[in-house]
Amino acid sequence: MAEEIENLRDLIVSPRFVLFDFDGPICRLFARHPSERIAAGMVRGFAERGPRGPLPQEVLETADPQVVMRAVAARHPGSDLITEIEEQLTQEELKATDTAFPTPYADLVIQTWVNVDAKLAITTNNSPRAVAKYLESRDLTRCFAPHIYGRTQNLDLLKPNPYCIKRALSAMGAAPSAALMIGDAATDYEAAVQAGVTFLGYARNERKHGLLRDAGVKREHIVSSLAPVLAILRTKGQGEG
């Protein structure tokens, strides 16, 4: 891990503002509340709302609720249906927070970053209501509040649109060059690039790692664990970084 720590050191110690994606770097939101079931329920709910034309086959088969939500929004822009299906997903996310699995080392990384005087925000495609509920359950609200920027009912503003990142930077008075974003998806990276923010990828498995690499993230800027990030922050806290 020593070589990995050295490769990451400048990336970690320089930023004064750190933006976290939520589902992935902070927790596995759907670890025990299967996203496949949620996506299928959203598809059924769409069908039950009346004859609106079938969704594409790849959407019918997806395990990602956000794919369903985006597909409905693309098919029916400006419709009340978007409000309904976004709220349906929000309610499922709120339920999922009760059984979400904390990302190893995430709580300690967050608390340690605050202790070395970084300002933190969350920039996510998840509901800010679900984020707030999870943070409260882990006693982490103080580390982020009020800087929680999540999904709105304008789904065009979801990442890879950099809207939530730019909102966070503006609210915190942060220059993009002074910020770092941590995310686990290509959309996180694309949004960070558009906002001019440095990016650290978190990939808990080889599939996630491959998707980040395919998006253009440098191999040395991807971690499979937050342990080296914590080690660097602890060194910085001791005045050696």
CA–CA distance, 36 with 177 (Å, rounded to integer): 38
Tens digit of each residue's pLDDT (9 = 90 or more) over 9-22: 989 999 999 999 99
Residue 226: how many other CB atoms lie within 10 Å: 23
pLDDT exceeds 90 at position 52: no
Query: What is the DSSP code (8-state) at residue 226?
Result: S
Helix (H, G, I), strand (E, B) or coil at 16: coil
* pLDDT (0 to 100) of residue 6: 80
pLDDT score for 237: 66
pLDDT at 210 exceeding the cut of 90 = yes
The model scores a pTM over 0.85:
yes
pLDDT grade, residue 3 (50/70/90)? confident
The residue written with tokens 């320089």 in the block is 14
User: Cα separation of 6 and 3, whole Å?
Assistant: 5
C-alpha to C-alpha distance for 234 and 238, rounded to whole angstroms? 6
Per residue, the 3-state secondary structure of 25-56, as one string, reads: CCEECCCCCCHHHHHHHHHHHHHHCCCCCCCC
pLDDT digits (tens, 9 = 90+) for 92-108: 999 999 999 999 999 99
Average pLDDT score over residue span 213-219: 97
pLDDT digits (tens, 9 = 90+) for 126-155: 999 999 999 999 999 999 999 999 999 899
In the numeric block, which tokens belong to residue 168? 């966070």
Cα 100 to Cα 48, 168, 188, 226, distances in angstroms? 29, 25, 20, 18
